[in-house]
Amino acid sequence: MNDNVNILRIIRGTTVDGPGFRTSIYFAGCRHRCPGCHNLQSWDFNAGKTMGIDEILEVIEEEDYDVTLTGGDPLYNPDFVICLADRIHSLGHNIWLYTGFTWEEILNSHALYDAVSHIDVIVDSPFVLSQRDPDLAFRGSSNQRIIDVAQSIKKGGINLWRRE
Ligand code: SF4
């Protein structure tokens, strides 16, 4: 596992990356290359600042917010995501993760599936410009799905997240 990853930024108190106030961790690096991507800088794995898990946890612990892992795409560092997610859960926070991989691609990859099984909710699939809808909550295009991971694994099919 990489002991460090590059982080573009950490935003505390955001309300756009999942329900409630959240701390969002933006991982550097993405190879999905979606046309119309909102942040071309995020494609570079060397962008931002190199950080380890303890350093990221210190920022998360400054607030009592749930956490979102986004980017870029955090799933290009699946082992790091597993370790970070376990530490975040031990603090009592739930975790959302944004990825350009589809749920079906995740099921076909041991590494991706292992990582996602440590997450509460994922927003899957690449951004599709022709399906962009600014009125959608927590996602950019209508092909993207907000998936309750534990329920989907339990039921053996996609179980969409519903706001309580
Ligand atoms: S997955 Fe996200 S960060 Fe990556 S290219 Fe697509 S829109 Fe951009």
CA of 97 from ligand 1 middle (Å) equals 13
- Residue 160 covered by a domain: no
Q: Identify the residue whose C-alpha is closest to ligand 1 atom 1.
A: 100
Q: State the pLDDT at residue 146.
A: 98
Domain hosting 141: range is 4-155
Confidence at residue 115, expressed as pLDDT on a 0 to 100 scale: 98
Ligand 1 atom nearest to CA at 127: 7
From 24, 31, 42, give the residue whose CB has the most ligand 1 atoms within 8 Å, as the site to mutate.
42
Tally of structural domains, the chain:
1
Q: What is the pLDDT of residues 85-136, one digit of tens each?
A: 999 999 999 999 999 999 999 999 999 999 999 999 999 999 999 999 999 9
Cα–ligand 1 centroid distance for 125 (angstroms): 9
Q: Which of 24, 34, 38 is the pocket-test mutation for ligand 1 (most atoms within 8 Å of CB)?
A: 34
Q: What mean pLDDT comes out for the span 74-85? A: 98
CATH number at 13 reads: 3.20.20.70
| 64 within a domain of the structure (yes/no) | yes
Are 40 and 22 spatial neighbours (Cβ–Cβ below 8 Å)? no
Give the side-chain half-sphere CA count within 13 A for 48. Answer: 24
With a cut of 90, say whether residue 2 has pLDDT above it. no
Q: How far apart are CA 8 and CA 120, in angstroms?
A: 23
Instruction: Give CA 142 to chain center in angstroms.
Output: 17
